[in-house]
Amino acid sequence: MHGVTIEYRDDGLERAEYNTHTEGANFSGYPPGKSETLRLTDRVRTNLWRVERHQRGKRKRNSQVKKQRTRITCSLFFLTNLSKVVILLAANYDLLILGGGPAGLAAGIYGARAKLKTAIIEKGRPGGQAATTGELVNYPGFGPGTTGPELTQAMADHAQAFGVEFIRDTVTGVKLDENIKVISGKKDDYHAKAVIIALGAEPRLLNVPGEGKLRGKGVSYCATCDADLFEELDVAVVGSGDAAVEEAEYLTRFADSVTMIVIHDEGHVDANQVSAERAFKSDKIKWIWNSTVKTINGDEIVESITVKNIKTGEESDLTVNGVFIYIGTVPKTDLVKDILELNPQGYIITDDQMRTNVEGVYAAGDVRDKYLRQVVTAVADGSIAAVAAQKYIQERELWEKEVINSPKPVVVVYYNPTDMQGTEKTGMVDQFLQNNPGKFNLVKVDATRNELVKTRYQISEESLPLIQLFVDGKVTATINEISEESLKELLK
């Protein structure tokens, strides 16, 4: 049975904690002589709730319980005569990963391997854009090559074997600023202690007439998905990067001819040299240089494209049955654009641990600002993000237990273990607490390793050793120079 712990105050319901391991819900802080137990059915996420009320006499411990059932229908909780409701939900998961591409799958493997309760939310099949790639010849360990679908399916199987839960849902909103992150989907809400954004990127559109109308009717962004539909037909590929050139090669297995529309001067492409040389040697690949696509033409299906030479302005029609567009990608960051720090192109900015500007939130793969976007770098990103998230969860839970929720004032000593002189000064703190027994708890933190505390309280290694006094979870005093006199200030 799921439970909710709720505290009442004079102004009504002030705080509620959801606990999936609690049999019922214990109410505290209620007016003297009253207490209630809220028991939720197993369908805790539905809008139909049953409330069991137990009235107990003020001074009668063994009085009989009078029960009455009240049906409540609401989106969260609505309790009569309560003017304010604040609900704090406990985490369903330790780690939630948004996106099931290579970055998300790698993060899932590392998260589950670290014994975190891990789930990947993906609206479709796992694999991301990599699953649409016909050939992968540069992934380490696969010299003869493999396919995107094969590799990503193997990753998904690996993650599932480690206990990763796959949730088929579309994310519609996120709340990331609290300790418990809330991810809203079309089917449900999900809660986690840490979140990894691995939503990837999507193909950039040409934004020319006919593109939208004929999408799926000859206009495509995935050769692996659609190449067999154009067997013995003529197609065009727009772009000159790795994806464009490699997918053009793949298309030659099916199409009669593949015409590359390239904006650069003749002989210049953005693809890697090996792929470019191979494409130049292909009898099936033709090239139109210094040109862009002006319109995609056709009534029910693609019949031709209008090509414009950017140097001469000359326009001409090219008869084709399909157009494959590879002119770059756009990061899927609309959900977090007002929450996380992005670069001018819309990619998420992270540090080398994949941390974003929001505590407990990480980004990995093509969605983040990086130099190289490949399957191998996405996998690396996901692995790093999961390890960093696991360390964050561990550090936060320990910090909250020992410092934030301590009933006593806590003296926190930040130190650098390689600084012998500074470490010796921390011995004064031990002596000080022995001379003032029972007044403080002591916590020592290696500030060179504890990223959570260092970032949250802006502790620089140059300032170590450093002391802070925490009372009720808040910093009330800071000592930059440790001495007997400065420690006495803590008693005031």
Known catalytic residues?
222, 225-226
Q: CA 466 from chain center: how many Å?
A: 34
Q: Angle at the Cα of 137 (from 134 to 142), degrees rounded to 5? A: 115
3-state SS, residue 40 = coil
| Residue indicated by tokens 């001018």 | 344
Name the residue type at position 392.
Answer: Y
SS3 string, 247-312, reads HHHHHCCCCCEEEEECCCCCCCCCCCHHHHHHHHHCCCEEEECCEEEEEEECCCCCCEEEEEECCC
Q: How far apart are CA 238 and CA 222, in angstroms?
A: 12
**Residue 364 CB burial class (10 angstroms; 0-12, 13-18, ≥19):** buried
Q: How far apart are CA 345 and CA 363, in angstroms?
A: 16
* Neighbour-count burial for 455-488, b at 16+ CB within 10 Å, e otherwise: eeeebeeeebbbbbbbeeeeeeeebeebeeeebe
**DSSP-based helix, strand, coil % in the chain, nearest 5:** 25, 30, 45
How are beta strands 219-220 and 322-325 bridged, if at all?
Answer: parallel
Backbone angles phi, psi at 241, to 5 degrees: -85, -175
How are beta strands 3-9 and 12-19 bridged, if at all?
Answer: antiparallel
Q: How far apart are CA 273 and CA 301, in angstroms?
A: 35
Cβ atoms 6, 19 nearer than 8 A: no
End-to-end CA distance of the chain: 48
Q: How far apart are CA 354 and CA 364, in angstroms?
A: 6
**Residue 227 CB burial class (10 angstroms; 0-12, 13-18, ≥19):** buried
